Chains A and B, each alone.
Chain A
Amino acid sequence: MFHVDSASQEETLHAILEKRQGGPRDLLQVLIEIQHAFHHVPPKVLSILAERLQVPLVRVKGVVSFYSFLSVEPQGEVVIHFSDNITDQMLGNRKLASLLCARLGVRLGETRKDGRVSVHLTSCTGMCDQGPAALVNYVPVTRLDAPRIEGMANLIEAGVPPEDWPKEFFAVETPMRRSDVMFRTPMAPGAGLRASLERGGERLPAWAEDLAPSDARRHHLERGGAETLKEIYRSELRGRGGAGFKTAIKWESVRSGEMGSRYVLCNADEGEPGTFKDRVLLTGYADTVFEGMTICGHVVGSKLGILYIRQEYWYLKQHLEGVLSRRREAGLLGDGILGTDLDFDIEIHWGAGAYICGMETAMIKSIEGRRGIPRRRWPLPVHMGYMKKPTVVNNVETFAAAALISARGGGWFAYNGTAQSSGTKLFCVSGDCVRPGVYEYPWGVSLRELLRDCGGLDAQAAQVGGPSGIMVSRDEFDRSICFEDLASTGTLMVFGPRRDLFNVVKNFVGFFQHESCGLCTPCRVGTTLLANYVKKFDQGCGSPVDLGEIEHIAKVMRTMAHCGLGQTANLHITDSLRKFPDIWNSRMRTTRFIPAFDLDGALEEARELTGRTDDAAHLSLEEA
């Protein structure tokens, strides 16, 4: 295994630190590289980083312990993370994980003694359309089955490094099953940007020529892109990341914000289980996404954009860096874009396994190299965001749409959709259907149409918008997906007629418990209390009293939690209680109160210590 003191390690560490300016903001990115190089973050390195990056040691450790993909315990040379979304579970991921563990002689969640391999579960890796999936040294392996597991086990035992494994193991498909106006015809790189620059917008009007260079009005007026902003207004584009905020209003707030730097952040955290459209966009349409960011930079007057992307998509690193350097060469990025005085560049920052980092203020903290804890709600990022400067945060798809709107016009975009939800939208379909993948539809499409097209019409239920969204039953299939009815990030998980929906609840409740950041009490404690109640029902020991408690906890979380995670982490439970009461009722033993813990089991320790086995040494679940 690795020793921190070895010369070669010293060298690696220096090489990693060399590339950076060495400020606190580098912490997370440096830690990720160290984790990849050393398969853990050695304790000695923690102190070195604290010193070099001028961050108190307690905060360095705070960051390492926050992110799932960082660890102070040494991991194996091959680290495997099985994706554990409900869709993976429905495809038998747990059995495959056990199979691999058995073959390798390692326990789930642990590292083999010889340091060869570690096997873990992780939250959804965004491969739900081709699961069951796993990450092998942070690179996805899809469509797992017993033979592939067998093959992996053999390669690991033979000491073949994952870089040399057969290429087909790592094949990732990006099926765009249906495309509509946005993605039917690809946009030539630069088309949106050129349109934006040609539209120009207000240059400094004559009256403002005399304003002092530091005058905020001058600064504001000097910004180009006013006409492009008008197109975005005209398109009525709303954010694709969940909250559905009007993109133009957001851009304008930043554009008219106070003097000084401002930033453009692209949210590619895509942590909502069942969601993988951003992956598909960043694979096939990265140019369009980066172009949207650049146009935003033009409109709001920013020089720097950052793509914050989940580490589950590490395999896209080379590809994305390649696209960025091609764009720089083509004059679409960097200084003096397309021969104008517009400067804008894009950096990539990686996440490290934390769903909450998709929440915009948590993401900002993560980019600043800190624990991804949502910040206080006010002031908003558009006023005080990254580095305390005005900041646009938009989803990947929002930026792609903005680029297309710039190229094709706001009216073109707004032609589709409904009154409150303009344009078309990408939907990620997975679960029990014939054709999982990404579908583009105008907003307002009915659930039934989507289900028909993907071959999932016999479903008994569907989860719209991921675990934080809405669980719908068959009699709601005629509802339409749009902000007016079923709002959604574009995620649809389909559950066939023979599925036990309680497993869905179990999966989701565990997900939220694992991903709660822990800042606020209602969510930190509430997610755990809910998970415990679900476990109680799972053991067949539920009671009506518990149902009342569950509803009560859900209500507390909805009103009192600090951010969207806690506010929505309970919806799947209350939805399922309302729409699928049988999955709960069938797990109730009596109508009376039942303890939340195993009473007889609570005597086991005493039985062992005393060796007693008589009748009085046992307790029944209920009094006879």
Chain B
Amino acid sequence: MSNTFFLDGAEIPFREGQTVLQAALAAGQYIPHLCWRPRLEPHSSCRLCTVIINGRPFSSCTQPAMKGQSVACDTPELQALRRAVLQMVFVEGNHYCPACEVSGNCRLQATAYHLGLHDNRFPQQFPVRERDSSHPDVNMDRDRCIRCETCVRASRDLDGKNVFGIHGRGIHSKLAVNSPSGLLKDTDVAAEDQAVAMCPTGCLTVKRVGFKVPIGERTYDMESVVSVALKEFREQEAAHG
């Protein structure tokens, strides 16, 4: 008999070594997540995947699945807390969705739709952050960076490059790049890098492709983040096991 646990009452099978999130996705159950992606080390930073196990909160992207445990995920209280964390993401940066070239193709935005985010609730911080358009093919708009370090991990572990890093601490921490000038043009980043492709926001974008897909036909005009995330997981499992 294989190992199983219970996610909101549904029985979920798992393999030894799988996290709660991985097992859930493999079983076709979505748990909200932003900083976790297949093939990357978990990062524990977005906290959206938080679930309650035995009365205590855990990030499901790092918590190993254990036999028989019961996991609460889709409860009104947790959804409200997740919404609040997303609202914090939005007030911390500057997200002008109507003017953003990834709008409609943006993970962050699609996750906000899924969680029913209507507003940002908290006072917007309106930070002033540096943009970096120095590179011929890749644009960096820190206003939209949520410091999930997807790019940091993807560049290091998938691209083998170490283009990105984080500088500073706390609310003042910011995305930085690996060059003495601190500019993207002096790094070895390339438009084809996974680091750029996997950024869940419009912070890292390839130049000259924005706004090409008409409204109504963009990724999340057609599909919800749930089906996109489940599809991505299945594809990666099939390709990499």
Interface flag for B230 (CB, 8 Å):
no
- C-alpha gap A57/B163 in the complex (Å): 10
Interface residues on A, range: 35 or more
Interface flag for A325 (CB, 8 Å):
no
Q: Determine whether the beta carbon of B89 is less than 8 Å from that of A521.
A: yes
Within 8 A of B (CB), among A536-571: 549, 552-553, 555-556, 559-562
Q: Determine whether the beta carbon of A56 is less than 8 Å from that of B88.
A: no
Of all chain A residues, the one with the shortest Cβ separation from B152 is A58
Q: Determine whether the beta carbon of B64 is less than 8 Å from that of A522.
A: no
Q: Determine whether the beta carbon of B44 is less than 8 Å from that of A377.
A: yes
Give B157-174 as 1s and 0s: 1 = Cβ < 8 Å from A's Cβ atoms: 000001111111111110
Interface flag for A94 (CB, 8 Å):
no
Shortest A481–chain B CB gap in Å is 24
Q: Determine whether the beta carbon of A61 is less than 8 Å from that of B165.
A: yes
Within 8 A of A (CB), among B135-185: 146-147, 162-173, 176-180
Of all chain B residues, the one with the shortest Cβ separation from A64 is B167
Of all chain A residues, the one with the shortest Cβ separation from B148 is A521
Interface flag for A368 (CB, 8 Å):
no
Which of A238-246, A262-270, A398-406, A509-517 is near enough to bind chain B?
A: A509-517
Of all chain A residues, the one with the shortest Cβ separation from B122 is A529
Q: Determine whether the beta carbon of A65 is less than 8 Å from that of B125.
A: no
- C-alpha gap A348/B81 in the complex (Å): 42
Choose among B59, B165, B173, B179 the residue that contacts A562 (Cβ–Cβ < 8 A): B59
Q: Determine whether the beta carbon of B62 is less than 8 Å from that of A560.
A: no
Which of B4-12, B45-53, B197-205 is near enough to bind chain A?
A: B45-53
- C-alpha gap A65/B57 in the complex (Å): 31
Choose among A57, A65, A376, A518 the residue that contacts B42 (Cβ–Cβ < 8 A): A376
Q: Determine whether the beta carbon of A560 is less than 8 Å from that of B81.
A: yes
Contacts of A549 in B (CB 8 A): 122
Interface flag for A378 (CB, 8 Å):
yes
Interface flag for B63 (CB, 8 Å):
yes
Within 8 A of A (CB), among B35-68: 42-47, 50, 57-59, 62-64
Within 8 A of B (CB), among A456-489: none
Q: Determine whether the beta carbon of B62 is less than 8 Å from that of A377.
A: yes
- C-alpha gap A529/B120 in the complex (Å): 13
- C-alpha gap A562/B165 in the complex (Å): 20
Interface flag for A66 (CB, 8 Å):
yes
Given contacts A518-B147, A560-B81, contact A526 B88 (CB under 8 A): yes
Contacts of B47 in A (CB 8 A): 520-522, 560-562
Interface flag for A223 (CB, 8 Å):
no
Interface flag for A59 (CB, 8 Å):
yes
Q: Determine whether the beta carbon of B50 is less than 8 Å from that of A560.
A: yes
Q: Determine whether the beta carbon of B164 is less than 8 Å from that of A521.
A: no
Q: Determine whether the beta carbon of B92 is less than 8 Å from that of A524.
A: yes
Of all chain A residues, the one with the shortest Cβ separation from B88 is A525
Q: Determine whether the beta carbon of A525 is less than 8 Å from that of B42.
A: no
Given contacts A556-B85, A561-B47, contact A371 B146 (CB under 8 A): no
Of all chain B residues, the one with the shortest Cβ separation from A56 is B162
Q: Determine whether the beta carbon of A521 is less than 8 Å from that of B45.
A: yes
Interface flag for A532 (CB, 8 Å):
yes
Shortest B78–chain A CB gap in Å is 8
- C-alpha gap A561/B51 in the complex (Å): 12
Give A93-120 as 1s and 0s: 1 = Cβ < 8 Å from B's Cβ atoms: 0000000000000000000000000000
- C-alpha gap A264/B163 in the complex (Å): 34
Within 8 A of B (CB), among A367-395: 371, 376-378
Q: Determine whether the beta carbon of A371 is less than 8 Å from that of B166.
A: yes
Contacts of A71 in B (CB 8 A): none
Contacts of A559 in B (CB 8 A): 50, 57, 81
Q: Determine whether the beta carbon of B123 is less than 8 Å from that of A532.
A: yes
Shortest B225–chain A CB gap in Å is 17
Of all chain A residues, the one with the shortest Cβ separation from B177 is A58
Choose among A57, A517, A597 the residue that contacts B178 (Cβ–Cβ < 8 A): A57
Interface flag for A37 (CB, 8 Å):
no
- C-alpha gap A51/B162 in the complex (Å): 14
- C-alpha gap A518/B147 in the complex (Å): 9
Q: Determine whether the beta carbon of A65 is less than 8 Å from that of B169.
A: yes
Contacts of B92 in A (CB 8 A): 521, 524-525, 528
Most buried by B among A56, A58, A522: A58
Of all chain B residues, the one with the shortest Cβ separation from A523 is B170
Q: Determine whether the beta carbon of A58 is less than 8 Å from that of B169.
A: no
- C-alpha gap A527/B229 in the complex (Å): 31
Q: Determine whether the beta carbon of A520 is less than 8 Å from that of B45.
A: yes
Interface flag for B191 (CB, 8 Å):
no
- C-alpha gap A513/B169 in the complex (Å): 10
Interface flag for B84 (CB, 8 Å):
yes
Contacts of B167 in A (CB 8 A): 58, 61-62, 65-66
Q: Determine whether the beta carbon of B171 is less than 8 Å from that of A527.
A: yes
Given contacts A513-B171, A525-B92, contact A56 B50 (CB under 8 A): no
- C-alpha gap A591/B44 in the complex (Å): 39
Contacts of B178 in A (CB 8 A): 56-58
Of all chain A residues, the one with the shortest Cβ separation from B166 is A62
Shortest B74–chain A CB gap in Å is 15
Interface flag for B190 (CB, 8 Å):
no
Of all chain B residues, the one with the shortest Cβ separation from A533 is B123
**Interface positions of B (Cβ within 8 A of A):** 42-47, 50, 57-59, 62-64, 81-82, 84-85, 88-89, 91-92, 122-123, 125, 146-147, 162-173, 176-180
8 A-B pairs in the complex with CB atoms less than 8 angstroms apart: A524-B92, A525-B91, A525-B122, A528-B92, A529-B88, A560-B82, A560-B84, A561-B47
Given A58-B162, A58-B164, A65-B167, 18 more A-B residue pairs with CB atoms under 8 Å apart are A61-B165, A65-B169, A377-B63, A513-B170, A518-B170, A521-B45, A521-B85, A524-B147, A528-B171, A529-B122, A532-B123, A552-B84, A556-B84, A556-B85, A559-B50, A559-B57, A560-B57, A560-B84
**Interface positions of A (Cβ within 8 A of B):** 43, 47, 56-59, 61-62, 65-66, 354, 371, 376-378, 513-522, 524-529, 532, 549, 552-553, 555-556, 559-562, 596-597
Top 9 A-B residue pairs of the complex, sorted by shortest distance between their CB atoms: A58-B165, A58-B178, A518-B173, A525-B88, A376-B62, A516-B170, A56-B162, A518-B170, A65-B167
